[in-house]
Amino acid sequence: MLRSTLLAASRSGAIRGLVERTPLTRPVVKRFISGDDVDAAIATTGEVLADGRLVTLDHLGEDTRDAAQATATVDAYLELLRRLETAGYADRAEVSVKLSAVGQFLPVDGEKIALENARRICAAAGVVGTTVTLDMEDHTTTDSTLGILRELRVDFPWVGAVLQAYLKRTEQDCRDLAHAGSRVRLCKGAYQEPASVAFQDKAEVDLSYVRCLKVLMAGEGYPMVASHDPRLIAIAADLASGRAKDSYEFQMLYGIRPEEQRRIAAEGNRMRVYLPYGDEWYGYFMRRLAERPANVAFFLRALVSR
Ligand code: FAD
C-alpha cells in the first residue's frame, strides 16, 4: 500500500514540487545521491574506487518530453566521460543511461532520437575506454529498450542492459541475452507494474530472480547481480562458484548496505556501486523510499528532528 502510494507519487508533478521545495529533504536525499553536479560525482567516484569497489554513474533525469533537455543530458554524459578519463577512473567507472532521459518518450521520432543520442554516449564511452549500461524503466519501455540495445550492440558490442525479475517475460529475455559478450544487470524491478505483466508477491519475485540468475550464470555472458538481498547474493555466489571471478559482478546502489559492499569487494569479488548525481533526483529518490518502509520513517524523523 505504502509502496504503491510512493510509486504513484514518484510520477506526480504536484507532489514533486512539494518534496523538492522542502529544504529539509536535502539531507535525506544525500544518503542516496552523490551531489548536484559532475564535480561531486567525480569526487564520490574517487572515494568509492579507493576501497576497491567499481562504479557506474547515472546522470539523474527521466521521462523528458523536451528534445533540448534530451540533448543537454547527452552533453552532461559527454562531459562526465571526459572527466572520468582525466581523473584516470575510466577503467573502473562506467555509465548507466535511462533512454527516457535522452528522448525515448518524445512525441515525434522518440525512439530514433533516443537511439542516436545513446549512440553519441556510447561512442564517447568507447573513446575513453569504458562501457555503457541501459537502465530499464517501466514495462511499456522494455521492447523499445531491448530493440535499441540490439541496434547499439552492432557498433558497440559491450553495451549492457538491465532486466527486471518481477516481469514475467524476463526469464525468456535472460535466455535471449545469455550469450557471449552480453552484459546483463539483473535487478528485482522498481516500478509499479500490473499483475498482467509482473509478479506482485515478493516471494514470487525472488523465485523469478533465482530462475533468471541460473540462466545467466549458466550462460556465456557477463551477469551483473544487482541486489542488496543477502539471500540472493548468497545464491548468486553459489551459482557462480564454477566461474572465473572476473566473469560476473555484484552491484548495489550508492548509500545502501555500504559495509556489505566493502565486504564483498574485500573478498576479491567485483563489486560495482550505482552512483547517481544531478538535480533531477525526485523520481529516483521516491523509488528508494518505496523499496523500504524504514526509509520513509528515516525521512520523516529527519524532517521532524529539525
Ligand atoms: P529488496 O528485497 O528490496 O531488499 C533487500 C534488502 O536490501 C532490504 O531488506 C534492505 O536491507 C536493503 N534495501 C533494499 N532497498 C533499499 C533501500 N531503498 N533503502 C535501504 N535499504 C534497502 N530497478 C529498475 O526497475 N530498473 C533499473 O534499471 C534498476 N537498476 C538498478 C541498478 C542497480 C545496480 C541496483 C542495485 C538496483 C537497480 N534497480 C533498478 C532497483 C531494483 O530493481 C530494486 O528496486 C532494488 O535494488 C531493491 O531490491 P533488492 O534486490 O535490493 O531487494
In a domain, 18, yes or no: no
Q: Does ipTM surpass 0.90 in this model? A: yes
From the CB of 226, is ligand 1 less than 6 Å away? Answer: yes
Angle (deg, nearest 10), helices 38-50 and 67-87:
40
b/e 29-62 (16+ beta carbons within 10 angstroms → b): beebbbbeebebbbebbeebbeebbbbbbbbbbb
Q: Quickly state the pLDDT bin for 27 (edges 50, 70, 90).
A: confident
Q: How many Cβ atoms sit within 10 Å of the Cβ of residue 288? A: 24
Q: How far is CA 164 from CA 31, 54, 106, 169, 293, in A?
A: 24, 22, 24, 9, 21
- DSSP letter string over 234-303? HHHHHHTTTS-GGG-EEEEETTSSHHHHHHHHHTT--EEEEEEESS--HHHHHHHHHH-HHHHHHHHHHH
What distance in angstroms lies between residue 227's CA and the mean position of ligand 1's atoms?
5
Residues 97 and 131: beta-carbon distance below 8 Å: no
Q: Quickly state the pLDDT bin for 256 (edges 50, 70, 90).
A: very high
Residue 46 assigned to a binding site: no
Residue 227 assigned to a binding site: yes
Q: Is the pLDDT of residue 196 over 60?
A: yes
What distance in angstroms lies between residue 252's CA and the mean position of ligand 1's atoms?
7
From the CB of 228, is ligand 1 less than 6 Å away? Answer: yes
Residue 83 assigned to a binding site: no
Residue 127 maps to which CATH number? 3.20.20.220
In a domain, 214, yes or no: yes
Angle (deg, nearest 10), helices 202-218 and 230-239:
20
In a domain, 104, yes or no: yes
Comparing C-alpha atoms, which of 28, 98, 116 is closest to residue 56? Answer: 98
Q: How far is CA 218 from CA 149, 178, 223, in A?
A: 22, 8, 10
Q: Residue 64 belongs to what domain range?
A: 33-280
Q: Is the pLDDT of residue 80 over 80?
A: yes
In a domain, 269, yes or no: yes
Structural domain count, the chain: 1
- β-bridge partners, 59: 277
Q: Is the pLDDT of residue 304 over 70?
A: no
Q: What percent of the chain has pLDDT over 70?
A: 97
Q: How many Cβ atoms sit within 10 Å of the Cβ of residue 12? A: 13
Residues assigned a catalytic role: 135, 185
What distance in angstroms lies between residue 75's CA and the mean position of ligand 1's atoms?
28
HEC string of 121-170 equals HHHHHHHHCCCEEECCCCHHHHHHHHHHHHHHHHHCCCCEEEEECCECCH
Q: How far apart are CA 302 and CA 42, in angstroms?
A: 27
In a domain, 23, yes or no: no
In a domain, 1, yes or no: no
Hey, whose CA ends up nearest to atom 36 of ligand 1?
252
Mapped onto helix, strand or coil, the DSSP state of residue 305 is coil
pLDDT of residue 229: 98
In a domain, 56, yes or no: yes
Residue type, 2: L
In a domain, 304, yes or no: no
